[in-house]
Amino acid sequence: MLGVALGVRLLALAPFAAATPVFDESYYLNVAEGIARGHGHTLGMRPEWAPGALRPPLFSFLLAGVLRVFGPSQPVLRAFQIPLSLLTVWLVFRIAARRYGTRGAGAAGLLCALSPSLVHYSHFLWAEHLAALLLTLFFFFVDRFDRGGRRRDLAAAGAALGLAALTKEVWVYFGAVAAAWLLWGARPRWRAALPGAAILLLALALTILPWTLRNQRALGRFVLVSTNQWFPIAMGNLYDPQRWLDPTPEDVRKAVIWRGQRLPRDKRAAFFKRVALDLIREQQPWWIGKKLVRTTITMYHLGSEQLRFLAKGWIQPGRLTARLLVVTDVLGHYALLVPGLLALWLVPGDRLKVLAVLAVLFLQGVHTLANAVPRFTVPLLPLYALYAGALLAGHAVRGPGRRWRLLAGAACVAAAVLLPLPRSLAFLAKLWDRVATLP
C-alpha cells in the first residue's frame, strides 16, 4: 500500500515539479529563506527581514531545513512532504486495523493513498498536508488511550495537537473540545477524567509556549500563535448581503486589504477586527444562517488548488494531462467526501467516532465565522478515509435505526454536493475553456 501511495505521488508531482510558488506558497518560502539565512522567522516580505508571526511557524521551519540541506531546488521543495504523506497513510491504516480489522484497514489505507487531494497537497507548498498528518497523529494517540487508558498517550496527543496548532492555528482551540470529549466519555464519573484532560491541555500548552514567548520578545505584545486572526474573519464576511451567494468582488476585497496594509503593523489587527465586527453587525439578524450556507459553498466546491494551478496558468501541461488532472480531481473530491460523510452516520458509533464528528463540526463552525476555501478541509480527509474504509469493509449499523441514519447522511451529502454545484459548474466551465487552449 505504501508503495502504491509513493508511486502515485511521484507521478502526480511531474506536472507541478517546476511550478513557481504563488500566493501563500510564496509567503511560506520567503519566511523559510529568512530562517535559512539566519534572520529568524520574518514577515515573509523580501528583502525586509523584520520579525513576524503572520502565520504559524512550523511549516516554514520545515521548509527552511530543506533549503539548508538541498538549496532552492524547486522539485525537492515540492517533494519533501511526500514522506510525511506516506506517514499519514500508515497512521490511518494503523487506527483502522485496531478498530475494523485487516479489511477495514486496507480499504481506509488505499483511500488515503489514492485520494487526489492528499496526493496533490503532498507537493503544494501549503501547510494543509502537514496539518492533516499532525491531526491524524493526534487521533492515533487518542485511539491508543481509548483502548489502553495510558495517560502518556494523552500527553502525546496533546503535543501532536500543539504541533498542529503551530501549523494551522485553528487547531489550538480544538483542545477544549477534546478535553470536553474526555469528560463526556467518563460520565457519570467525569471527575475521574479531569487529570487526563489536564494532561492533554498541559501538553498542548507547553508545545506552543516557546513560540508564544518568542512572539512576546520579538513583537513586544502577546500573540498566542499568529497575528493573522481577524483578517480572515473580515474577508469571510465581506460580501453584499443582497447577493450573499456570490463571491466577493475582487476590487472590494483589494480595497479593504489595501487600507489595512497602509496602517502600521501593530494597528492592522485592530483595523480588521473593526471591519469584521461591523460587517457581522450589519448583516444581522440572519447573518449566521446565510454565512453557514456560504461556508458550505466555498468549502466544498470544486475549485481546488490543483485546478486553480491549471485555471490561472501556473502550470502548462499538455491538454491530455490537463484533462486527466481535472477528471481525477473532480472524481476524487466526491469519491472521498461522499462515502466519508455517509460513514460518519452509518459506521457504528464509538467514542473515537464522536471525536471525529466533533472535528468536522468544529472546522465547519470556525470557518462559518471566518473565510473558507476547499483546501481548509484537507486535514479532515484522513478521518473521512478512516470511516469510509470501515463502511466499505461492511461495518455499518443494522436494525431499525439504519433508515434515519441513511437519510441524515444523504442530507449531509446533498448539502456538500448540491449547494456548491452552481459555483462548481461555473468554475469547471471556465477551466475547461482554459484547457482547450493548451497544446
Using one digit for the tens of pLDDT, what is the confidence trace for 332-348?
Answer: 889 899 999 999 999 99
Nearest to 269 by CA among 236, 232, 238, 239: 232
pLDDT (mean) for 67-76:
91
Q: CA 1 to CA 90: how far, in whole Å?
A: 9
Query: Any idea of the CA torsion for 170, 171, 173, 174, to the nearest 10 degrees?
Result: 140
| 172, 224, 254, 284, 348 from 221: Cα distances, Å | 19, 10, 28, 33, 48
Highest mean pLDDT: which range of 44-53, 78-87, 319-328 = 78-87
Rounded (to 5) percent helix, strand, coil in the chain:
75, 0, 25
**Is 258 part of any domain?**
no
Residue 242 has pLDDT above 60, yes or no: no
Cβ pair 224, 269 in contact under 8 A: no
Nearest to 295 by CA among 419, 172, 132: 419
| 3 state DSSP class of 45 | strand
Nearest to 172 by CA among 204, 199, 194, 137: 204
Query: What pLDDT score was predicted for residue 253?
Result: 67
Place of cell 508531482: 13
Q: CA 344 to CA 349: how far, in whole Å?
A: 8
pLDDT (mean) for 317-344:
90
Q: CA 175 to CA 134: how far, in whole Å?
A: 13
pTM above 0.85, yes or no: yes
CB proximity list for 8: less than 8 A, separation 6 or greater: 113, 114, 119
Question: For residue 78, what pLDDT band results from cuts at 50, 70 and 90?
Answer: very high
Q: What angle do CA 219, 225, 231 make, to 5 degrees?
A: 85
Query: What pLDDT score was predicted for residue 122?
Result: 92
DSSP states of 180-221: HHHHHHTTTSGGGGHHHHHHHHHHHHHHHHHHHHHHHHHHSS
**Is 34 part of any domain?**
yes
**Is 267 part of any domain?**
no
Query: Any idea of the CA torsion for 51, 225, 129, 411, to the nearest 10 degrees?
Result: -140
pLDDT (mean) for 41-62:
87
Cβ pair 295, 374 in contact under 8 A: no
Spell out a b/e string for 142-166, using b for 16 or more CB atoms within 10 Å of the CB, else e. bbbbbeeeeeebbbbbbbbbbbbbb
What confidence tens digit (pLDDT) does each residue in 172-187 have?
999 999 999 999 988 8
**Is 333 part of any domain?**
yes
Cβ pair 402, 346 in contact under 8 A: yes
Number of domains in the chain: 1
In terms of C-beta density within 10 A (0-12 exposed, 13-18 middle, 19 or more buried), how is residue 64 classed?
A: buried
Q: CA 236 to CA 362: how far, in whole Å?
A: 17
pLDDT (mean) for 83-103:
95
The three three-digit cell numbers of residue 405, written as one number: 441514519
- Range in 20-34, 150-164, 263-277, 332-346 with the lowest mean pLDDT: 263-277
The overall longest dimension of the chain from CA atoms, in Å, is 67
| 306, 327, 329 from 439: Cα distances, Å | 19, 18, 21
Judge if the upstream peptide bond of residue 348 is cis by omega within 30 degrees of 0. Answer: no
The three three-digit cell numbers of residue 108, written as one number: 481506509
Question: For residue 359, what pLDDT band results from cuts at 50, 70 and 90?
Answer: very high
Select the more confidently predicted residue: 62 or 231.
62
The three three-digit cell numbers of residue 275, written as one number: 471591519
DSSP 246: S
Residue 247 has pLDDT above 60, yes or no: no
Question: For residue 55, what pLDDT band results from cuts at 50, 70 and 90?
Answer: very high
Residue 209 has pLDDT above 80, yes or no: yes
Question: For residue 249, what pLDDT band results from cuts at 50, 70 and 90?
Answer: low
Residue 111 has pLDDT above 70, yes or no: yes
**Is 198 part of any domain?**
yes
Query: Any idea of the CA torsion for 408, 414, 416, 417, to the nearest 10 degrees?
Result: 150
Total count of residues recorded for the chain: 439
Query: What pLDDT score was predicted for residue 315?
Result: 83
Query: What pLDDT score was predicted for residue 15?
Result: 86
Query: What pLDDT score was predicted for residue 47?
Result: 66
Residue 8 has pLDDT above 70, yes or no: yes
Range of the domain at 81: 2-225+294-436
**Is 281 part of any domain?**
no
Helices 319-346 and 421-436: crossing angle, nearest 10°? 160
Percent of the chain past pLDDT 90, that is, above it, reads 55
The three three-digit cell numbers of residue 87, written as one number: 506517514
Residue 306 has pLDDT above 90, yes or no: no
**Is 428 part of any domain?**
yes
| 59, 261, 355 from 56: Cα distances, Å | 8, 20, 24
Q: CA 170 to CA 82: how far, in whole Å?
A: 24
pLDDT (mean) for 207-224:
94
- Range in 81-90, 244-253, 331-340, 373-382 with the lowest mean pLDDT: 244-253
- Range in 302-306, 323-327, 336-340 with the lowest mean pLDDT: 302-306
**Is 246 part of any domain?**
no
Phi, psi for residue 292 in degrees, rounded to 5: -65, -40
Average pLDDT, the chain: 90
Select the more confidently predicted residue: 354 or 284.
354
Select the more confidently predicted residue: 167 or 302.
167
